[in-house]
Structure 1
Amino acid sequence: MSDPSANTLTILGCGTLGTAILCGIQDALSSSSDASSIPASIPSRFIACVQRASSGARIEAVLAVGASCAPTQILVNDNLAGIRASSAVLLGCKPYMVGAILSAPGVAEALSGKLLVSICAGVTIGQLHELAPKARGVVRVMPNTAAKVRESMTVIAPQMGLPEEDLEMVQWVFSQIGRCLVLEEKHMDVATALCGSGPAFYALFVEAMADGGVLMGVPRQAAVEMAAQTMRGTAAMILEGQHPAIIREQVSTPGGCTIAGLTRMEDGNVRSVIARAIEEATNVAGGLGGKKK
């Protein structure tokens, strides 16, 4: 008889990011015309563990909108049952909740032999191993809120010696909600600043650009659309391989409006302020998991 927990992914704390990840996997499974392109280790069953019945109803409503091909069970206040019925667990709670969740009675034993994937900022692989010593492997992952529109930038940091099939599964899962990079764990706090906090920083920049447009008489909605699409297009060019400095130089004609605007930005130390913002966010990210400096 086959193991009912085989290829079952349980999401503990299925909030905005957890739901986006779940929907991304479901969409990929339902739209794939070539089953051979999907790794054998990819989950085919899902369990979403939530604290409130209203959260479960929200997830069910979201899944009902799409074409779901894999069964999803909603469990309210029953993390232990969800872990026991899984082959892999995605930890999607707030960082300060990790200790309480993983040290709850029976949880460490239930995680025995299972893969533990954490999207909790600041919680290290070492800390996760201490709380789940019998897990077969631990992976840290940092996606961002753009997962909601399948445009996340996700950084993956696996433990040393993680089985290749486990890393392949994690990469596949997060590639369904955007782009992925695999880096060493030492880079995860910076990844939290660049990727996790990044949407807020870019949103502020778009707001400021739009404010400038409004200042010069453009209607607010139009100014926001122009600023956002310009950022999106520039990002697309960079992701295709164009260097940011080359794009900047190509737009900056002698005596033109672009170089005038850039000079004003340099007057305000914009480049330094942005770099320092990443530095500050990185330092704060390092303390979110309760690590001692």
Structure 2
Amino acid sequence: MIEVPYQSLPRDQSDVRYAHGPDSAVQPGVPVGRTIEFDWNESAIYPGTFRKFWVHVPARYDPAQPASLMVFQDGWWYLDPEGEVRGAIVLDNLVHRGDIPVTIGVFVAPGVFPDAEDPKNRNTEYDAFDDRYVSFLLDEIIPEVTQRYTIAEDPDRWGICGGSSGGNCAFTAAWLRPDRFRRVIGYLSSFTQMPGGNPYPELIPGVPRKPLRVFLQAGHRDLRWNEPEANWLANNLRVAAALAEAGYDFRLVLGDGGHNPNHGGVLLPDALRWLWRSDDRPDGCAADVAEGEAVVRAAE
């Protein structure tokens, strides 16, 4: 049994900030891995786009032992050591302690059109309900990684993570290609922005269960949280309910605050530990639903 310490709920949910734990900070005695930056401007799937991506290799990586793979959307936002997510720091700490297997992180920025009046291609890539983005990863980005590093072939050792539109992008990538990605983290996912609407509440229970393990985070004060249409909170809850009814191995963590990466970033260490846990649960297991486990304090 795990006993969670008492902590009072904030009176106003709109101005809440979660404090990062020690796994999100550089720790004495933990060797720092290498981060390599790449440019990618030769996309056949998104022609004319330019982007960067970063590969983080933990210090314990051994070419003789295939590493697990974790792909993060929004590139630098999820890698920035001063940001909310701090992906490389978290990987270094968890891998060093053996909390997760040796895992190489790939942080991919959304594409931009350098000379266009509206240069961003993020929503086109992330919100689409098709296989273009996952094909872009599998055919263009990941081969640049696998030709340099030894990556496990087992799809149970491949994960994908994102927030907002990057969250539904991560879910869609795994949903369409569970033969490659089977571990998913989605923070405050923008299911409601998908062209044609959110397909998953009806789609998930209507097809045979896929071999996915899914960690979702939703916020009580996410965008349009109390509106009858295009409600970010409601759409995340509907996806979670569909996963529960279909017997998926998933976890939903509800928190306070608005549409920002703070809570998801704080949860990353626990999300990764949960995704990569070795105590495989039986089919049809129920989901865990919890309030955010991090320390809550009012934003100053």
Indicate the structure with greater strand content: 2
Which structure has more helix as a fraction of its residues? 1
TM above 0.5, yes or no, is no
Structure 1-normalised TM-score? 0.33
